Amino acid sequence: MKLFVLSLALLMATVAASAQSALPTQSATAPPSAAAASAASSAPAAAVVPNPATAQARPQIQAGEPSRSVDARIENRPVDSSIVGEIHCKPLFISTIHLPEAVTSIAVGAPTLFTAEHVENDPKLVYVSPLTHDAAESNLLVALASGETISLKLISSGNSAAQYDVDFVLDYRQDKALLAFVGDLESGIVHPGMAATTSLAAPFVKRYSVRSSIHTAHPVSVIDAALAAQAGLATPRWVLSDDLVKLDKANATATRSIAASLGRAVQVGDTMMVSYSVLNVSRDWVQVLTPQIQLGNPVHKKPGKRGILAAPVSIQDFRQNVVKLAPGERSDGVVQFSRPGFKQSREALLLQLATADAVDHPIMIPLPFVAPGF
C-alpha cells in the first residue's frame, strides 16, 4: 500500500514538472484567450507617464510642418514727431529700432502683448518683440534726449499669416538733406543730357545740403550798447571850439576843423562812461585820435608861478566806430575811465578830443564829476 502511494506521488510530480516547462512556450506562441481579452478591457486604465524624449521630439515634429515665409525689411526713416509710424513684428523675431540720439524713456500700450527693451549700454537702440502667437496690435512711445518723441503702431500677424513682412531694423535719422532732380537748382528743370538716359520711374537724384537758419546770439557789452545808442542819435548838438572858450580858456587855441557833441554820462562807483560824437567841419580829411580824460584847472596860472595845470586820468576802455573822417562825415565813440575820488573846487574833468594834424590843440569839453547810474 505504501509503495502504491509513493508511486502515485512520483507520477504526479513528473506531470507537474512537464506542465511548468511547457507553460512559457505556450504563452509566447498561443494567442490571448477571450477571457484574458475581457479582463484587459474591464481593467482600469493606468496613468501614462510622459517620456522626456517624446516631449522633446514634439517641437521637432511641429517644426516639420510647412514653414511660413518671412520677408525681412530694413528701413530708413526721418525723425518726425508729427506722424505715427508702423513697425511690423512677428513671434520668435526681434525688431530693432536705431535712433540718432540717446533714449530717455519708452512706454508700451499693451505690455502683456508686446515687450520693448532699452539697454543703458546701447542708449540708441530699442528692441521690440510680440509676447503672443496670436495677431495683436498696440502702440509704442519713445522719448529722446533732445525732447523729440517717436510714436509707433505695433502690428503682429501672429502665426496665422503664411507670408508676412517683418521690420528687422528701423533706422531713424535726422532730416538734414533734400532730394532734387539733377539739373539747375534754381530753375528746377531736368538737365537735357539726362533726359534720354534717365528713366521716369526711377529718376537720378542728387543730394543738396540744407543750411541751418539758426544763429547764435552773442551777448552785447555795456560799452558796445552805449556806442550803438550814441550812433543812433540823428541830430546831436554840435559845438565848436569857440563855443567852449567860456568853459575852458584852452579852447581859444583849439582846432577848428572838427565840432564835438557830448552824449550821455553814466557812473557806477568810481567808474564813469561818457559818449561823444565828432563831426568834420573842414574841407579836408581828418583823423581823430584816441580820446583822453584829464583833471585840470581852467584858470591860467599867473606868469612866473609854477603849477600843474592838468593831471591825466586812467582810461579803462573806449570804442570809436570811425577814425578817418571825410568832409562832413561823423564819428561816434565811448570812453570808460576811473574817476578820481575827489577834486578841488576849481578843478574840472575834461574830455580831450584831438586830430592827428593838430595834436597840440585839442578841444576840451567839461564833464560832470558826478553822473547818474544806468
3-state SS assignment for residue 81: coil
In 30-45, alpha helices (H): 34-42
Predicted pLDDT of residue 307: 47
- The sign of the dihedral angle between the CA atoms of 112, 118, 119, 120 is negative
Amino acid at 203: P
Q: Give residue for cell 508729427.
A: 82
- Which domains can be identified in the chain, with CATH numbers? 69-173 (2.60.40.1080), 180-209 (no CATH), 222-300+309-367 (2.60.40.10)
Give me the tens of pLDDT residue by residue for the chain, a chain 374 residues long.
555 655 666 667 665 655 555 444 444 444 444 444 444 444 444 444 444 444 443 444 344 444 566 788 888 888 887 888 899 998 888 999 999 888 988 999 899 999 998 887 888 999 999 999 898 999 998 988 888 888 999 998 888 766 678 889 989 887 544 333 334 444 444 444 444 444 444 444 445 444 444 445 556 688 999 999 999 999 899 999 999 988 888 899 999 999 999 999 999 888 999 999 999 999 999 999 999 999 887 554 454 554 446 688 999 999 999 999 999 999 999 999 999 888 888 888 999 999 999 999 999 999 999 988 76
CB 152 within 8 A of CB 135: no
* Cα R_g (the chain), whole angstroms: 52
| Nearest-angstrom CA–CA distance, 106 and 116 | 8
Q: Give residue for cell 478591457.
A: 41
Q: Which residues contact 106 (CB under 8 A, 6 or more apart)?
A: 116, 118, 126, 140, 141, 142, 143
Strands 69-78 and 163-173: parallel
3-state SS assignment for residue 71: strand
| Nearest-angstrom CA–CA distance, 23 and 21 | 6
DSSP state of 55: H
